[in-house]
């Protein structure tokens, strides 16, 4: 009895092998879905809600499967590639996202907000100022900020995902942090979590932005 292909038995660093082998054996691509779909779905749900997340996740992997022949296997981990596809799809719903954020900022309640946390005792109203700050960001700045804060991507991974220079990631992230910090300047809990780190690596999960809505 033979075991699974090495690409499926290894760590996420073997994504490139799974993609390459799937060109001849398409069924192997399911391993990539099993490995990354939960994270993609979770990220999309935070951005657009559970209902839209189902469609975003399905379309992300459909596009990934159809375009896998162009994947650069020098990138052993496929997370940035997949998040980039998802971010592009989410961007097509930016009006829906901004409307939801503005509604939350205005009323302290919105159905999308329920998917932002697994904790039933979270006080959604506390998130209202933050939602307003996120709604005011440009789509590009919001993508960078949330890929770092919610997807836990490093700066270089964000650059790969969005296909932009590393310097652009840094400038967008600094601008987004500054704008959110200014919008929330009356709340020390938010501003302390938003202080930029001196190096290029993202802070540990939950420290890039306030933990109550990043976890």
Please tell me the predicted confidence (pLDDT) of residue 108: 59
Average pLDDT for 105-130: 50
Average pLDDT for 45-61: 91
157-167 pLDDT, tens digit per residue, is 999 999 999 99
Please tell me the predicted confidence (pLDDT) of residue 107: 63
Of 22-26, 28-32, 98-102, 109-113, give the lowest mean pLDDT range.
109-113
Burial (CB count <10 Å: 0-12, 13-18, 19+), residue 36: buried
Predicted TM-score of the model (pTM): 0.73
Average pLDDT for 46-58: 89
DSSP 38-87: HHHHHHHHHHH-HHHHHHHHHHHHHHHHHTGGG--TT----HHHHHHHHH
Average pLDDT for 193-202: 45
For residue 156, pLDDT over 50 is answered with yes
Split at pLDDT 50, 70, 90, the class of 127 is low
Of 34-38, 79-83, 100-104, give the lowest mean pLDDT range.
100-104
For residue 8, pLDDT over 50 is answered with no
Kindly tell me the sign of the dihedral angle through the C-alpha atoms of 212, 182, 199, 169. positive
**Lookup: tokens for 10:** 């290894």
Contacts of 36 by beta carbon, 8 Å cutoff, 6+ apart: 12, 78, 79, 82
Rg (CA), the chain: 18
């Amino acid at each position: 009895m033979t075991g699974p292909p090495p690409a499926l038995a290894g760590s996420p660093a073997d994504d490139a092998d799974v993609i390459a082998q799937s060109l001849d054996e398409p069924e192997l691509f399911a391993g990539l879905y099993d490995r990354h779909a939960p994270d993609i779905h979770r990220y999309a749900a935070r951005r657009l809600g559970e209902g839209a997340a189902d469609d975003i996740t399905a379309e992300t992997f459909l596009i990934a499967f159809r375009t896998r022949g162009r994947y650069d296997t020098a990138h052993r981990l496929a997370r940035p590639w997949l998040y980039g596809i998802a971010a592009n799809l989410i961007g097509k719903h930016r009006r829906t996202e901004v409307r939801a954020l503005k509604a939350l900022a205005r009323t302290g309640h919105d159905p999308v907000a329920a998917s932002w946390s697994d904790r039933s005792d979270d006080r959604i109203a506390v998130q209202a100022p933050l939602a307003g700050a996120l709604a005011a960001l440009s789509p590009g700045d919001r993508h960078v900020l949330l890929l770092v804060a919610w997807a836990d991507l490093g700066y270089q991974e964000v650059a790969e995902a969005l296909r932009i220079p590393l310097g652009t990631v840094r400038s967008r992230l600094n601008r987004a942090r500054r704008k959110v910090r200014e919008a929330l300047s009356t709340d020390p809990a938010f501003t302390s979590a938003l202080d930029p780190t001196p190096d290029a690596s993202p802070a540990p999960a939950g420290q890039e932005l306030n933990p109550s809505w990043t976890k």
